[in-house]
Amino acid sequence: MNFRKGLSDDVEVNLTPLIDVVFLLLIFFMVTTTFDRDAKIKINLPTTSNAATTPAKSDTLEILIDNQGKYFVDGREILNNKPETLFRAVSQVLDNKGKNPPLVISADANANYQSVVTAMDIAGRLGLTNFSMATTQSKKK
C-alpha cells in the first residue's frame, strides 16, 4: 500500500464579496432613512427688536407661570399644578375664544423648566400651533 501524503491546499477566505455586501447595505440604509425635522408644535422664538408686534389682547390666550410653578390662564389662577387641571382650564378658555387663538406663554425667569414644558405639551395636545414665548428686552449698556 502506497499511501501518499496529499498536497494541502491553503484555505483562503475572500473578503471582497462580503465587503461589497456591507457597503451596499450601508448605502441602502443611508438612502432610505428619513430625518423628521418637523415638530408638532411650531415655536416663534422671541426677538429683541424694537419693532415687535403683539396680537390683540381680546383674542390672545395667555398662560402665565410664576417662579413657584403656579399656572394662570388669562390671569386666573388654576387650582393646582397638575397637567390635567391645566388641560381642562385651557380647554374651557378655548371654548370661549375659538378654535386656534394666538397663545402667549409668559414664564418667570426663575420658573421651573418642567412647568414651561408642561404648558407647551398641553398646547400641543389641544392643537395650538400658533404660540410664542414672552420675553423682555435686555437693557443695552
Q: What are the distances in angstroms from CA 32 to CA 29, 35, 88?
A: 5, 10, 41
> What sign has the CA pseudo-torsion 98, 100, 102, 103?
positive
Domain boundaries, the chain: 43-47+56-133
Q: Where do the DSSP E strands lie in 32-78?
A: 43-44, 61-65, 71-73, 76-77
What confidence tier does 43 reach under pLDDT thresholds 50, 70, 90?
Answer: very low
pLDDT value of position 136: 64
pLDDT tens figures, 17-32? 999 999 999 999 988 8
Q: Are strands 131-133 and 71-73 parallel, antiparallel or unpaired?
A: unpaired
Supply the pLDDT for residue 65: 87
What are the strands, taking DSSP E only, across 6-99?
Answer: 43-44, 61-65, 71-73, 76-77
How far apart CA 58 and CA 43 sit, in angstroms, is 21
User: For the segment 105-132, what is each residue's pLDDT rounded down to a tens digit?
Assistant: 888 877 888 988 999 999 889 888 888 8
- CATH architecture label of 43-47+56-133: 2-Layer Sandwich (3.30)
